[in-house]
């Protein structure tokens, strides 16, 4: 029995996209699942490496635009944990390496059918592919398949349709056609609701369903292949080639507009954030490449632990040793060893400078816990350790040097227990 190609329909409004629309296919434009926490992402030139249980995927994302929602309206989006996140990819151009994708499909297929002992496949130019399937049902079968790959927009899948089938060295495609047999009847794998399955005359897989705990929707509109790789296009990217565009002067970036999101230890509210690749000569690996964070508006909440770590990294090799920073009552408390043997403590009061920069004013400095230290000495030390500059009684801290963070001028700098709150 063949797979039922039922068109995607919705009560939501729909738009027709290019030639796909001319064939009668439509792209669903869904209303936000959680209008109070709607976050958007656009990205360019990313490297995404996934190694999760049986899932091994190396992907290059030339371009992506997506809406991201928290499944719980009261919980911020957490990019470090996607279990509670829903991602709707509106447009994307994604290239997958065949070797790792073959390993992933092999692992998934063996779980779907005990008959399957191994699957290996490779991509060839001009939307061609080759699959080598080893089966065992009473006896061993080695099924080699050559075929064509096509996007299947109705079912949001990649479709592999055999043009040549060889079983244990014997060509059988013409015999199958004569007898009316289909590949889905010879090799029954999975269910149409899964990420990989056979049905009727084709083999299907869904790139958006391969990764566990990732709730990802995307409308596949086109694909192309090269030797060893496949490029899948979602949304409008499948109709017209994506034209690269820079962001903050960079070609490798992730741009996030968020209502409420936790990221890298920060909480961001109503924020415009860009992550810019620090190694622009290759794709942006979010996990391993250094990046500059650019925030143009919004509210940034920084926990004391981040400030503590940033100060320690910045002052490595300086005169301040064994640094410990806390904000127990909203005001900063800093303890350290000057030159490694003189214990000092001081308060750090946070505010904004005349130009809207972060300003830190040292106060209440003590040596050995009881000998007062002049504020002038504290300012001089703080300037040296943070590469800052003096303004009045305080020190203007360059967040770009301290934490690779570039921001718009601050409208206010406030705090609460254990947190510093910067509003732009």
Tell me the C-alpha distance between 208 and 185, whole Å: 25
For β-strands 55-70 and 38-52, DSSP reports them as antiparallel
Give residue 212's pLDDT.
Answer: 63
Q: How far apart are CA 234 and CA 90, in angstroms?
A: 7
User: How many of the other CB atoms lie within 10 Å of CB of 374?
Assistant: 9
The phi-psi region of residue 19 (left if phi > 0; otherwise alpha if psi is between -120 and 50; otherwise beta) is alpha
Give per-10-residue mean pLDDT for the chain (424 aa): 35 34 39 60 90 75 91 75 79 88 78 79 92 84 91 84 90 80 74 75 79 76 93 89 90 94 86 94 90 92 88 73 86 87 92 94 94 91 86 91 87 90 94
pLDDT computed for residue 5 by the predictor: 37
What is the pTM assigned to this prediction? Answer: 0.78
What sign does the dihedral 79-84-89-94 (CA atoms) show? positive
Give the pLDDT score at 407. 92
pLDDT, residue 283, reads 95
**Burial class of residue 417, CB neighbours in 10 A (0-12, 13-18, 19+):** exposed
pLDDT, residue 156, reads 82
Question: Do the beta carbons of residue 348 and residue 333 sit within 8 Å?
Answer: yes
CA distance 27 to 318: 58
Q: Report pLDDT for 348.
A: 93
Residues 6 or more apart from 301 whose CB is under 8 A from it? Answer: 266, 267, 268, 269, 419, 420, 421, 422
DSSP string, 162-222: EEEEEETTEE-HHHHHHHT--HHHHS--S-TTSSEEEETTEEEE-GGGSSTT-EEEE-EEE
Dihedral over Cα of 117, 5, 213, 41: its sign = positive
- Yes or no: say if 367 and 342 are a contact pair by the CB < 8 Å rule: yes
The pLDDT value recorded for residue 29 is 41
Alpha carbons 284 and 252: distance in angstroms, whole number: 6
User: Long-range contacts made by residues 291-294, C-beta under 8 angstroms, separation at least 24?
Assistant: 291/404, 292/400, 292/404, 292/405, 292/406, 293/264, 293/403, 293/404, 293/405, 293/406, 294/248, 294/406, 294/407
Would you state the structure tokens that stand for residue 338, as one six-digit string?
């000057």
């Amino acid at each position: 029995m063949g797979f039922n190609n039922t068109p995607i329909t919705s009560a939501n409004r729909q738009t027709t996209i290019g030639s796909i629309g001319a064939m009668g296919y439509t792209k669903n434009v869904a209303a936000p699942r959680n209008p109070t926490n709607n976050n958007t992402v656009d990205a360019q030139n990313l490297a995404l490496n996934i190694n999760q249980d049986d899932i091994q995927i190396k992907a290059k994302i030339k371009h992506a635009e997506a809406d991201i929602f928290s499944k719980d309206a009261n919980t911020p989006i957490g990019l470090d944990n996607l279990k509670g996140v829903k991602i709707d990819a509106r447009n994307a151009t994604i290239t997958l390496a065949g070797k790792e994708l073959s390993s992933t499909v092999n692992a998934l297929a063996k779980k779907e059918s005990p008959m399957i002992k191994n699957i290996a496949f490779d991509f060839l130019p001009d939307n061609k592919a080759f699959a080598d399937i080893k089966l065992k049902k009473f006896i061993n079968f080695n099924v080699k398949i050559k075929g064509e790959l096509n996007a299947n927009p109705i079912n949001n899948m990649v479709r592999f349709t055999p043009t040549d089938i060889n079983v244990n060295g014997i060509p059988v495609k013409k015999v199958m056609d004569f007898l009316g047999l289909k590949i889905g009847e010879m090799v029954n794998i999975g269910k149409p609701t899964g990420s990989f399955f056979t049905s009727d005359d084709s083999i299907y897989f869904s790139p958006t369903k391969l990764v566990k705990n990732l709730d990802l929707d995307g409308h596949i509109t086109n694909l192309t292949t090269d030797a060893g790789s496949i490029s899948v296009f979602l949304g409008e990217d499948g109709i017209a080639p994506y034209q690269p565009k820079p962001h903050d002067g960079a070609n490798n970036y992730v741009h996030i507009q968020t209502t409420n999101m936790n990221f890298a230890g920060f909480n961001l509210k109503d924020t415009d954030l860009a992550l810019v690749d620090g190694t622009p000569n290759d794709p942006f690996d979010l996990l391993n490449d250094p990046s500059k964070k650019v925030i143009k508006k919004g509210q940034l909440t920084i926990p004391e632990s981040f400030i503590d770590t940033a100060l320690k990294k910045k002052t490595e090799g300086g005169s301040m040793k064994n640094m410990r920073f806390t904000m127990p009552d909203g005001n900063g408390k800093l303890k350290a060893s000057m030159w490694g043997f003189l214990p000092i403590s001081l308060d750090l009061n946070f505010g904004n400078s005349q130009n809207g920069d972060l300003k830190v004013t040292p106060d209440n400095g003590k040596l050995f816990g009881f000998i007062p230290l002049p504020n002038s000495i504290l300012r001089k030390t703080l300037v040296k350790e943070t590469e800052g500059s003096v303004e009045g009684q305080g020190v203007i801290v360059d967040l770009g040097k301290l934490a690779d963070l570039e921001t718009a001028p601050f409208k206010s700098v406030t705090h609460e227990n254990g947190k510093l709150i910067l509003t732009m």
